[in-house]
Homo-oligomer: A and B are copies of this chain.
Amino acid sequence: MGRWEPDALGRLRAAALDLFTERGYEQTTVADIAERAGLTSRTFFRYFPDKREVLFQGAEGLEGAMTEALKKVDSASPALEAVSAAVYAVGSYMGDIRDFARLRRNVIQTNAELRERELTKLSKLSGALAEALIRRGSNPIEAQLAAETGLVVFRISFELWIAEGELRSFRDIAHELFLQMSLLTRV
Contacts and interface: CB of A to CB of B under 8 A. Distances in A.
Contacts of A186: 182, 185-186
A177 interface: yes
A136 to B, nearest CB: 14
16 contacts: A80-B185, A115-B120, A116-B117, A119-B123, A142-B180, A142-B184, A144-B156, A145-B180, A145-B181, A146-B184, A148-B152, A149-B184, A181-B185, A182-B186, A185-B186, A186-B186
A84 to B, nearest CB: 10
A108 B152 CA distance: 23
A112 B116 CA distance: 11
A141 interface: yes
A142 B180 CA distance: 8
Interface residues of A, number: 30
A interface, by DSSP: helix, strand, loop or mixed? helix
A181 B149 contact: yes
Given A117-B116, A120-B116, A141 B181 contact: no
A121 B121 CA distance: 15
Contacts of A119: 116, 119-120, 123
A59 interface: no
